[in-house]
Structure 1
Amino acid sequence: MNPTDAELWAAGLGFVLPPVIAIVNQPRWSGPVKALFMLAVATVVGLGTAYFNGDFTGKPIVTCMLVAAVVIGTAYHTVWRPSGIAPGIEAATSTGGTKDPAPAA
């Protein structure tokens, strides 16, 4: 199966988006909130790449969203987080405060 142009664009954008996502993410946000934001970005990328490549129908849209989500997550965990780039951006663009410490018992 050969990837479509829309899927390739979704993958390419997904690879470079973790630092952009880190600008919005805050260190005090929980993991699920950060994951939901990443999925929202992947949805927008999937919709946009499918639309601008003329594949704006059911299956290509979903495929582009899934490709973007997988590539964003993989790129973040294999390149951007280990290098310290994404966490550094996240800390530098924090609006104040840090991640809440564990509640006292």
Structure 2
Amino acid sequence: MIEDLDHSNIYSTDLVNCLPNGKIQTVNSFKYPTREIKTELGIDFKYHYLRHTYGTFMAEMNTPQHLLCNQMGHGNIHVTQRYYIAVSKSGIDVLKKNLNNL
């Protein structure tokens, strides 16, 4: 059992991803293995790349902008639109189509 920030109890069975001891995985519990793997393999990888990949995939799957904004933790939907909506493949295809129709 884990105590959440609002002091309610969370059980490990309620978590999608938890550590073997049932505790909540923190950002650092994900980053450490990633650092070890990238060092061993000698690849240039930044954990933040996964965030951009997630945002791009969700945008390409036509996730409503307000939901994507919430998922990405953006305080302003314009940030979401700037980084994910316009640069997705489907967004670029729409731009090309609209430009050709001018």
TM-score w.r.t. structure 2 length? 0.30
Pair member with larger Rg: 2
TM-score w.r.t. structure 1 length? 0.29
More helix by share: 1
